[in-house]
Amino acid sequence: MKRNLLILSLSFLFLFQGNVKADEGMWLPYFLGKKYQEMKALGLSLTQEQLYDINHASLKDAIVMLDGGNCTGEIISSQGLLLTNHHCGYGEIQAHSSVEHDYLTDGFWAYSLGEELVNPGKTASFLVRIEDVTAQVLKEVKATASEQEREQAIQTAIAKLEKDAVKGTHYEAQVANMFEGNEFYLFVYETFRDVRLVGAPPSSIGKFGGDTDNWIWPRHTGDFSMFRVYMGKDGKPADYSPENVPYQPKHYLPVSVKGVKENDFAMIWGYPGSTDRYLSSYGVVQKSDELNPVTVKLREKKMEIMKNYMDQDAKIRIQYAEKYAYLGNFWKKDREESKALRRLKVADQKKALETEFLNWSAQGEDRSAKYGEVISTFEKAYKVKSDSSYSKAWWYIIEASFFQGSEILTFALKHNTLKGMLTAEKDATAVIDELKGEAAHFYKDFNPTIDKEILGAMLQMYHDDLPAELHPEFFKMVEKKFKGNFNAYAEMVFKKSVFANEEKYMNFLSNPKKQLEKEPAMEAIFGLFAKFQELQMAQNELDTELQKAKRLFIDGIRQMNDQRFYYPDANSTMRLTYGTVRGYEPRDAVKYDFITYLEGVIQKEDPTNEEFVVPAKLKELYAAKDFGTYTDNGKVPVCFLTNHDITGGNSGSPVINANGELIGTAFDGNADAMSSDIQFDPKLQRTIVCDIRYVLFVMDKMANAQNLIKELEIRN
C-alpha cells in the first residue's frame, strides 16, 4: 500500500540543540567534506570517494529509496538483491497473501528467480547526484517581495531547474527546500519500476513483539524482508516484463558476520522522512497537548474496530493486517511522543533558545528590524490556532478519511473527474476503464461492515468533540434526519452508495450517468473536503506568517552561532548519520545492554498472545543449538543498539561498519527518546537494529534459502 501522506510533509526544518555531537545529525552526503574527519576519528576506514562520488561507484550507489521515500533499502548482491524491513515489505506480503497462501503467517521465500512475486507500483530509486542550486532558485526573488511573490518566483525557478536537469535522460529530478527556504538542493534519481518480492520471514519473527514491543528496548524482532530490483535488457528502468533481468548495481554492500562490540563505529545511510527540530516552544505545546491526543484517540478507536473483526475471521485478518499495523505504528508514536515531550521538558528548552534569540536580535537596528518580530509571531499565531481549534478540526477530517479513515470516502473522492465528465456529457470510457482497474485492488481488502462502523465512529467523534461552527455542512442534515446518530447515517450511506460493494460498483460503471448526482458517499467526502479547504483558507495568513518567521529564525540562529555547522531537517532526501554501537541508561537503576539474543525470544514466548508466538522450527533450532556460523559466543544475536540520529523513512536503512560492510538493518527508535523528531537527546536516543547475523540465520536455518545465501559476499 503506497502513501504520500500529507501529514508527513508539513514542515522541513533543521536542528539546533546545544553542541553538535558526532552521533547527532542527518547529514547530506554533499557535506561529507565537513564531517569526514569526525567520522575518521570515530574509526571509519573508507575514503571520502568510497562513500560518495558522482563519477565513480561509491557506497551511496547501494542505497535505495523505496516508493518515493516511504522506506529505505540496500543492495546486497551483484544481482540486485535488496534488503529492507519486514514492515516496509508488509504491504506487498499482505497483498500476495490469502487464506490459502498466508505469507503473513507462514512467510515466503523464492528459491528461483521465476518464483519471485511481482508488485505493481513498487519502485526503487538510486541517487545520481546532488547539486547546490540555492543561487539559481533565489536569483529572481526581490528583497521587497511578499511571501506569495517570493514563493511564485521560487517555484518558477525550480520547475526550470528540474526540467533542465533531466533533459534528454530517463532520470527524475527534485529540488528540495532546506532550512525552511534558505537553501535549495537539486537531487537527480534513477527509478526502477520492477521490484519483486523475494523473501520474508513469518510475522512471528518479522513482527515479533507486535504493538507491545514497538518502540521498546530490549527488542527481539527479525524485522526484515527481501526484494529484487529488475531492469530492461538495455540496463534501464522498465515496467514489469518477463523479459526483464536482475539489476546490475554500481555498488552493493558486502555482509559482515564478525559481529559488533560496544563503541564500534557505525553509520546509517537512508532517506529519513520528516523532522521538526526547530519547532517553536509554542508549537511543541500545541503538538503534545492538543494535536497528538486527537490522533491517538481517533486511531485507537479505528484499531479497536478493526481488531474486533480481525480476531473473528482469517480472511479479514489478512485483509486488514497492513492497515492495522500502519495505524498502530503511528498511534503509539504520537502517544509516546507526547509523554517524552513533557517528561524531557522540551518546550522549556525551546523557550530558553527563543530567549537567547530575542536578546541577540535586539542588538542593533538592522538586526531588530529583520528578526525582532519572529518570536512574537510564533506566540500570536499559535494562540490563534489553539483558540480557534482550526488545527484540531483539520486533523479530525484527515483521520476520518485521508489517514486510514473510511475507505468508502477516499474511494468515492477518486470519482470527481468522472462526475465532471458525465455532467458535461463527455466520453468517459478511458476514465471508467482506469477505475475498473483500481476497483479490483480496492475491493480485495475492503470490508463494508468494518468501514461502515469506522465511518460512523469517526464522524460521531468529530461531531461530539468540536463546536458546531467547525462542523461540515452535512452534519446539520444528520442532526435533523438521524437525530445526530452518525451510526444510523453510516448505515444509510452503505445502503444507498454505489461504492458499498464490488457488485453494486461494477453495475454502476456499466451505466454511470446521473448516478453520482446525489451519491451519499460523495456528498460526505466533499462535505468534509469543503470544510477542510475552509479551515486551510482560514489559516493561510497565519501559516504564511509562520513560514516567514521560521525562515528568519533559522537564518538568524545560523548567524548567531556562526561557528557551528548545521544540517537541514529530514525531508526524504538521502542522509548519512554516524555514531557508535551503544547501550544506555534511561532512568535510575535501569541500564540497557546494547545487544539481545535468541534466548530472549524464547523467554518472551507466550502461545496465548499472537504478538509473542514463537515458530515451532525456531524453537527446535534453539533446543538443538543448530545456529550455524551466526553466533556470538555461542548465542545468536537478534538486535543491537546504536546512537544514530534517524526517523521515519530510515526504516530498512543499512547499518554499516567502518569497512563499508553491512552489519544490520535499522528498524525502530526507542520510546524513551520519542521526542526525537523535535529535539535530539544524545543521552537517550537510540536506533534499534536487526543484526545481519539473525537475518542470515533465519534465511539459512529457518528458510533453507541457500540460493540467496550464495548470492551474498559474506566476510568473516
Structural domains of the chain ordered from first start: 6-123+193-276+569-715 (2.40.10.120), 281-552 (no CATH)
**Which DSSP string corresponds to 152-196?**
HHHHHHHHHHHHHHTTTSS-EEEEEEEGGGTEEEEEEEEEE-EEE
Residue whose grid cell is 519486514: 86
pLDDT (mean) for 281-290: 97
DSSP single-letter state for residue 101: S
**Which DSSP string corresponds to 202-217?**
-HHHHTTTHHHHTT-S
- What pLDDT digit, counting tens, does each position of 154-195 carry? 999 999 999 999 999 999 999 999 999 999 999 999 999 999
- What pLDDT digit, counting tens, does each position of 555-608 carry? 999 999 999 999 999 999 999 999 999 999 999 999 999 999 999 999 999 999
pLDDT the model gives residue 53: 95
Give the 3-state DSSP-derived string for 38-65, with helices as H, strands as E and coil as C: HHHHHCCCCCHHHHCCCCCCCHHHHEEE
**In this model, does residue 223 exceed pLDDT 80?**
yes
pLDDT the model gives residue 677: 96
Task: Let me know if 427 is a catalytic residue.
Answer: no
Which residue in the list 58, 61, 67, 87 is annotated as catalytic? 87
Strands 225-231 and 81-84: antiparallel
Does residue 596 or residue 425 have the better pLDDT? 596
Q: What is the Cα–Cα distance from 383 to 285, expressed in whole angstroms?
A: 11
Q: What is the Cα–Cα distance from 387 to 391, expressed in whole angstroms?
A: 10
Taking a C-beta distance cutoff of 8 angstroms, is the pair 91, 321 a contact?
no
The Cα-based distances of 702 to 204, 205, 228, 694, 706 in angstroms read: 12, 10, 20, 11, 11
Taking a C-beta distance cutoff of 8 angstroms, is the pair 324, 1 a contact?
no
Reported confidence tier of residue 372, pLDDT bands at 50, 70, 90: very high
pTM over 0.85? The answer is: yes
**In this model, does residue 513 exceed pLDDT 90?**
no
Residues 6+ apart with CB under 8 A from 621: 627, 701, 702
Question: Can you count the helices (H) and strands (E) in the chain?
Answer: 27, 21
Reported confidence tier of residue 4, pLDDT bands at 50, 70, 90: very low
Task: Let me know if 543 is a catalytic residue.
Answer: no
Helices (DSSP H) in 567-678: which residue ranges? Answer: 598-604, 616-624
**In this model, does residue 109 exceed pLDDT 90?**
yes
- What pLDDT digit, counting tens, does each position of 502-512 carry? 999 999 999 88
pLDDT (mean) for 637-661: 98
Which residue in the list 125, 280, 651, 675 is annotated as catalytic? 651
Neighbours of 422 (CB within 10 A): 19
Q: What is the Cα–Cα distance from 67 to 87, expressed in whole angstroms?
A: 13
Picking from 544, 648, 669, 675, the residue whose alpha carbon sits closest to that of residue 9 is 648
pLDDT (mean) for 48-63: 97
Amino acid (1-letter code) at residue 656:
I
Task: Let me know if 651 is a catalytic residue.
Answer: yes
Amino acid (1-letter code) at residue 697:
F
Q: What is the Cα–Cα distance from 669 to 205, expressed in whole angstroms?
A: 18
Q: What is the Cα–Cα distance from 454 to 479, expressed in whole angstroms?
A: 19
Mean pLDDT, the chain, rounded, equals 94
- 453: number of CA atoms within 13 Å, CB side? 13
pLDDT the model gives residue 23: 66
**In this model, does residue 2 exceed pLDDT 70?**
no
C-alpha cell of residue 398: 484527515
Q: What is the Cα–Cα distance from 228 to 74, expressed in whole angstroms?
A: 10
**In this model, does residue 446 exceed pLDDT 50?**
yes
Helices (DSSP H) in 311-373: which residue ranges? Answer: 314-343, 346-361, 365-371
C-alpha cell of residue 330: 503511528
C-alpha cell of residue 293: 491526543
